Amino acid sequence: MVFDELYTQCMDCNKCALSQSRKNVVFGVGDRTADVMFIGEGPGEQEDLSGEPFVGRAGKLLDDMMEMIYLNRENTFIANIVKCRPPQNRDPLGPEQEACYPWLERQIELITPKIIVCLGRIAAMRMIRDDFKITKEHGEWFEKDGVKYMALFHPAALLRDPRRRPETFEDLKKLQAEIKATCNTYD
């Protein structure tokens, strides 16, 4: 019930200017009790139209990446830092992130994941450390408040630069090993 209330409140949000140009609020999808959460920066055009995160080409790649390590949209939760699409898919601005971040914090509190996977630099800078370097620190583990964090290259970045895929495959194997060690729901 509390999760449903959060969803309803978020759907009516107009705390920043992004709310004025959105088609849909992209709240997130998946298992509300998931041990693993994937967090991106914000919705793109396809996500804004559908109201679901990661549904375009990058979403298909994310689905493929998850499938490689026996994850899917039913046994994880996928969300974003901001819930509304920034114009022209630009990075979400600081004030937009500040206005929206409480929604994500509350989602995390209610879901209580053991592992959070940041998809891309923006998510890693917000969730792990503000000076995070995705090219140097992807695939490394960090711990905050008993939750393990890892950052992967954003699927859209992997579409633009397929040379990063072998590194990402290695990162996914590290993620799979940590899931097996930490989460009893993925045996």
Angle between helices 57-68 and 165-182 (to 10 degrees): 50
Tokens of 22: 């959105």
Indicate the DSSP class of residue 120.
S
| Nearest-angstrom CA–CA distance, 44 and 167 | 25
Q: pTM score, two decimals?
A: 0.95
Tokens of 100: 């929206």
Ordered per-residue pLDDT tens for the chain, 187 residues:
699 999 999 999 999 999 999 999 999 999 999 999 999 999 999 999 999 999 999 999 999 999 999 999 999 999 999 999 999 889 999 999 999 999 999 999 999 999 999 999 999 999 999 999 999 999 999 999 999 999 999 999 999 999 999 999 999 999 999 999 999 766 5
Tokens of 114: 């053991």
| Nearest-angstrom CA–CA distance, 143 and 147 | 6
Helix (H/G/I), strand (E/B), else coil: 11: helix
The pLDDT value given to residue 175: 98
**Residue 116 pairs with which residues in a beta bridge?**
37, 149
CATH placement of domain 2-181: 3.40.470.10
140: left (phi over 0), alpha (psi -120 to 50) or beta: beta
The pLDDT value given to residue 184: 72
The pLDDT value given to residue 187: 52
Strand order in the sheet with 77-80: 29-30, 77-80, 36-40, 115-119, 147-152, 142-144
| Nearest-angstrom CA–CA distance, 102 and 108 | 10
| Tally of CB atoms within 10 A around 84 | 27
8 A C-beta contact, residue 111 and residue 72: no
The pLDDT value given to residue 181: 95
